[in-house]
Chain A
Amino acid sequence: MASVPSKLYSDDVSLVMVLLDTNPFFWTTSSLPFSQFLAQVLAFLNSMLLLNQLNQVVVIATGYNSCDYIYDSSSAPNHSSEDARLPALYSNLLQKLEEFMIRDEKLGKEEPRGKLASSLLSGSLSMALCYIQRVFRSGPLHPQPRILCLQGSPDGPEQYVAVMNAIFSAQRSMVPIDSCYVGAHNSAFLQQASYITGGVYVKPQHLDGLFQYLVTVFATDLHSRSFLQLPRPAGVDFRASCFCHKMTIDMGYICSVCLSIFCKHHKKCSTCGSVFGQAQSDNTSASDRKRKAPET
């Protein structure tokens, strides 16, 4: 049985979908300059490719208005001729990233600036999942996929439903979502995403050493994770956003039919159309109506 034990090692072949936050509104306020951030991430991507010849890295830029694939190691030409100083990965990626940023900025001009400068996480998550689905269908031999969110922008409550849907479909297809949050406050979306899908959520304390965080925690393949101690979540913010005003709420009303969440009482569910009965909320005490749906 010569070939069977060695087969175990093919488990560490991984496909890493990296979601790169390129939201300009965040990076202008961040303590870590974008160029430094990118330099460390690029070194990380290169080291992923170094680890195994069959490893695959796909980078998706998460912009303010749009998101797009900016790098795919499986389809990238091996050697760039223009810029001889940089590895092929870097020059290809940087060029695509620049094009993306310009496109993203153009899209934004028509729109007035929103109150919250969140990036389009739901979009890039969905794109990553689509890509992974395609890999799953490509045949019985495929690398083990996982998603890594490199996010800095605050959560956009208006994306709540879309992000949650993406998280649940990742959970269903057993794709862990790792998240490395470089912003000021913890991100409830990413905490929940990693918690539900069995990924790792890390908010680095020292942003200068981002590369070390990336290679120590996020370079670990899924096979090795089963016998390593990776950072555990200290606490997960499970708060939801209401469907009507997209606000993050602690308490609210839930439709008993479709589980939609509302911050105040409605006559009819806006999602499934169920008609709610008269709320007894007026005559009962406030504590009774907490987190309960009005009877239909």
Chain B
Amino acid sequence: MPQVRIIAKNFMDMVASLPTMKLDKLYTNPFICQAILRSLPPLAKKYVLEMLYIDGPVSAKMLEEWVLTDGSSKHRVAVDRLIQLRIFSETVDRKKESSYKLNTTFQINLRKHLTDREVLPREPMPPNIVARLSSSEELEAYALGQWECFLLQLINSTQAEKPTNFSSSMMKIFQRGLLSQRDKEAPRLTESGFQFLLMDTNAQLWYIIREYISNSEERDIDSADLISFLLELSFHITGEAYNMNTLTEIERHMIKDLADLGLVKLQQGRKESWFIPTKLATNLSVSLTDSSSRKQGFVVVETNFRMYAYSTSKLHCEILRLFSRVEYQLPNLIVGAITKESLYNAFENGITAEQIISFLQQNAHPRVAERIPTVPENVTDQIRLWESDLNRVEMTPAHFYDEFPSRDVFEAACDFAREWSGLLWEDSKKMRMVVKAEIHMQMREFLRGQK
């Protein structure tokens, strides 16, 4: 099974891995330049800004002079990122001194942004055509509802009320890596599936979008087009209506899928149809850098391992069910208990104690979020203890050696293994030893030499 890593920030890696031609094409769009700048690590942002009005190349030494010794790793990360994204081009001169130059298209676009009036990706429709726009609360509720519905369907819950329009093959692709299905068994969430559910909305969204984009390549749609449209979408104003006619064929096709995810709301007027970006869409470029959730938490954990979750969401209930025993449910409250059994269940599914704790901390109800610690220490300690209970035995692949011809050879072999720090156990009386599997090859070579 292909290993799917669940890391929200990988989206920029995807952009970075685009071929040169496509990347250069992306940079002709000022909005993408802006979104990509915002996604950079802070130090990289600073370098770009510094060099914005410098036309020639800047020597690498000059940049490094600003960095303190303990920041040099961050400096490397920043510069590598910039080169990877082709924002910096590195040139090495005859004296082997390297210098960096900003990508010209990128530079011009950002300069324009600083001095000229910012242009909207597209003008919103005048309010007299659009019949009635929903309020921002309605829109947010719509977006979250849509997203939740999608997630419920994703984890194959029976709770999902209305199916989304994604074809089942599309859904399968999203589920790849998140669910595993053995023959004739109900599909079970994998370890990364759990991780996925515990992530916040923005991170989840990027994961899905990444899958969506990589899948679109199989359908012969240029991924650069999709990326640029998504990033552009994040610069639209929430709650304004935009005409569908301004979209290209591909975008129009895509926006239907985005509506299923809750990124946009589609509405049909008498003559024209339009789309309204929701918060999820406009937060897209924020979440590239900052995936910490900015929404209110809902969970209160008490020292007696009882957990109160003020939520009406079925999804929340499903998530809590992953690691706790839900005792009863009121219209706006889920009451559960964190028990040894429920946690063992979670650990068996590959979910770690740290994940559970960080989920509880990140989603703490505002009343307890101010307190330190937000989750009682005895609870967090106990969760960790229960996890370490399961890890009392550590497995190390190893090889067993015996029947050494002489004590000298045995001792030399022991010393050799110790030098490679691979000796796990020795019994000098019976001349037996156990050595880590990694150094088995070296060990064999060594013993052959001894003969």
> Residues on A close to B: CB < 8 A?
1-4, 6-7, 9-13, 43, 46-47, 50-54, 78-79, 84-88, 140-141, 211-212, 215-216, 219-221, 223-224, 226-229
Contacts and interface: CB of A to CB of B under 8 A. Distances in A.
Contacts of B43: 224, 227-228
Contacts of A78: 237
A142 B174 CA distance: 35
A9 B74 contact: no
Given A3-B292, A6-B290, A228 B66 contact: yes
A36 to B, nearest CB: 14
22 contacts: A1-B352, A1-B358, A2-B195, A2-B199, A7-B291, A7-B292, A10-B290, A13-B290, A47-B52, A47-B114, A50-B110, A51-B37, A51-B49, A53-B285, A88-B118, A212-B50, A219-B49, A224-B42, A227-B74, A227-B75, A228-B67, A229-B67
Given A9-B289, A221-B42, A3 B52 contact: no
Interface of B: 6-9, 34, 37-38, 41-43, 45-46, 49-50, 52-53, 65-68, 70-71, 74-75, 110, 113-118, 120, 195, 199-200, 203, 237, 285-286, 289-292, 294, 352, 354-355, 358, 362, 369-370
Given A11-B42, A221-B42, A227-B70, A215 B291 contact: no
Contact of A211 (B53, B74, B117, B369): B53
A226 to B, nearest CB: 7
B286 A53 contact: yes
3 residue pairs, one from A and one from B, having the closest CB atoms: A227-B71, A12-B42, A10-B290
Contacts of A212: 50, 53
B114 A53 contact: no
Contacts of B294: 141
A10 B358 contact: no
B114 A43 contact: yes
A9 B41 contact: yes
Given A3-B362, A6-B8, A215-B50, A12 B369 contact: no
Contacts of A226: 71
Contacts of B195: 2
B354 A220 contact: no
The binding surface of chain B is classed by DSSP as: helix
A220 B43 CA distance: 8
Given A51-B45, A85-B117, A228-B67, A9 B290 contact: yes
Nearest to A52: B38
A202 to B, nearest CB: 14
Contacts of B70: 227
Contacts, number: 113
A12 B40 CA distance: 11
A266 to B, nearest CB: 49
A87 B112 CA distance: 10
Contacts of A88: 117-118
A52 B66 contact: no
Contact of A53 (B38, B74, B352): B38
Nearest to B49: A215
B49 A140 contact: no
Contacts of A3: 8, 199-200, 203, 291-292, 358, 362
Nearest to A86: B117
A215 B52 contact: yes
Nearest to A214: B49
Nearest to B9: A6
Contacts of A50: 34, 37-38, 110, 113-114
Given A51-B45, A224-B46, A228-B68, 13 more contacts: A6-B292, A7-B292, A9-B41, A11-B42, A47-B49, A50-B113, A50-B114, A52-B289, A54-B286, A85-B117, A211-B53, A216-B50, A223-B42
A145 B285 CA distance: 23
Nearest to A1: B354
A220 B200 CA distance: 29
Contacts of B370: 140
B244 to A, nearest CB: 22
A6 B34 CA distance: 19
Contacts of B118: 87-88
B114 to A, nearest CB: 5
Contacts of A11: 42
Given A47-B49, A224-B46, A2 B7 contact: yes
A210 to B, nearest CB: 12
Contacts of A43: 114-115
Give the most central of A3, A46, A228: most B CB within 10 Å: A3
Nearest to B42: A12
Contact of A140 (B115, B237, B369): B369
B63 to A, nearest CB: 11
A51 B38 contact: yes
B358 A6 contact: no
A2 B8 contact: yes
B68 A227 contact: yes
